[in-house]
Structure 1
Amino acid sequence: MEPKTVLAHLNTVVTDRTYRTLEAIYEVCQEQLEQGKSDFSYTTVARLGEKRGVPKAQSIRNASGVHYRALIESFSAAAPAKKPKYTNADSDAWIDELPTARHRLLVQILKSELAESRRLIKEVVPPSLEIYVDDRTSSKAKFKLDEGERRALEHLLSEDFLKAWKLVRGEKGDVRNENGERVFKPGTFDALEKALRYL
C-alpha cells in the first residue's frame, strides 16, 4: 500500500492529535524518499523529525506506536531496493532492539569497554608475540635445569656421543645403533632440545 493511502486510511481511525504526528512522520519519510535514501529506521525518523513533533524512537516501538510503525513501514516498502552493504553498524543494530533503555545502555557500556580492552591489547601485545603462561605453583627454580643437568642433555645430543656409541640419528628424532635397531624412540631428541630451550 502506498504511504499516501496508508496515511489517508489512518486518518479515519486515529485522533486529531495522533494524525498531526502522523503527518510529521510522513513529511520526514517523504523527504528521505525524495533524496533517494532508504533509511527508515525508527531512530533515524525520530531524529530527523525531532523538531517537527515526531515522537522518540522508543515511543514508536511501544505498543501505542502501532500507527506510526505502519506508516514508516509503508515508506520502507516503497523505497528503492539497494544492495545491502554489511557495515560494523549493522552488527550493532540488535542493540536498538533490546526491550528497555536500561538494557541498551548497559550493552553499549560493555561494548565500549570491550573495544577499549581490545585496543589496549593491540598496543601492549605485538601481533606476532607468543605468550606462555607458567601456571605451576611451585618455585620456578625447581623446574630449571642446573648446569650439570644441562651439560648431560647437551652431551646426549652431541655428535661425539653418537660416534662414541656408533649411533645414528633418525629422521623422526629417534636413534638407531649400527645394526639398525632403535635405541631411542622417535621424538627423543626433540624432547631433549625442548628441555634445553625452556628449562
Structure 2
Amino acid sequence: MNPDKMLEKLKIGISAQKKKTLDAIFTVCKEQVDRGVSDFSIATIARLGYNRGVPKAQSIRNKTGDIYRALIASFEQANGRKNKHDVNRKEQSWIEEISNPKQRLLALVMASELKALKQKLREIVPPNQVIEVYDHKNSQVDSEHRLTSQERKALEYLKSDSFIKKWHFTKTEYGEVIDENNKVVFKPATIDALTKALQYL
C-alpha cells in the first residue's frame, strides 16, 4: 500500500492529535523521498521531525506508536527498501486471516519487529553456545580475586553515610551519587555494584 493510502487508512477513527502527528511524520518521510534518501529509520525520522510534531524515537517504538511505525514502513516499502527482517509467507499466514486491514498491517509490523529482536538475540548468543552462570553465594572465590581487608574498607567507605555527608553528596534511587549542584559523582548503579562486590568478594 502506498504511503498516501496508508495515511488515509490510519487516520480513520483516531484523535485529531494523532492525525496531526501522522501528518508530521508523513511530511518528514516525503522530504526524505524528495531528497532521494532511503533512510526511513525511526531514529532518523524522529530527529528530522524534532520540533515539527514528530514524537521522540522511543515514543514511536512504544506500543502506542504502532500506527506511526506502520506509516514509516509504508515509505520503506514504497521506496524499494525491503526490510531485512521482513516476515516470510509461512510466518505471516495467520496475519493474512485478520479481516481488518489496519489491524492486519499493524500485526505485520509487530511480527517484523519480533523477528528483528530474535535476530539480535541470535547475534548476542549464537546457537549451541553454552552460557555458564556462577552463583558466587554458593562457591568459593579464589583468594587471588577476594578483596583484602584494606580494599573492603575502601569500598565500604565509598558507600558509607559518613563519606556521603562529608562531601555533601546525595544517593539517588538509581544507585548514583550526586553533588550539591546535581552533578553526577558516581554513575547510576555504582552503589549497587559496590554492595555486590562487598557481598560476593
Shared fold (TM-score, shorter chain, > 0.5): no
Which of the pair is proportionally richer in helix? 1
Larger radius of gyration: 1
Under a length normalisation based on structure 2, what TM-score does the superposition of the two structures give?
0.40
Under a length normalisation based on structure 1, what TM-score does the superposition of the two structures give?
0.40
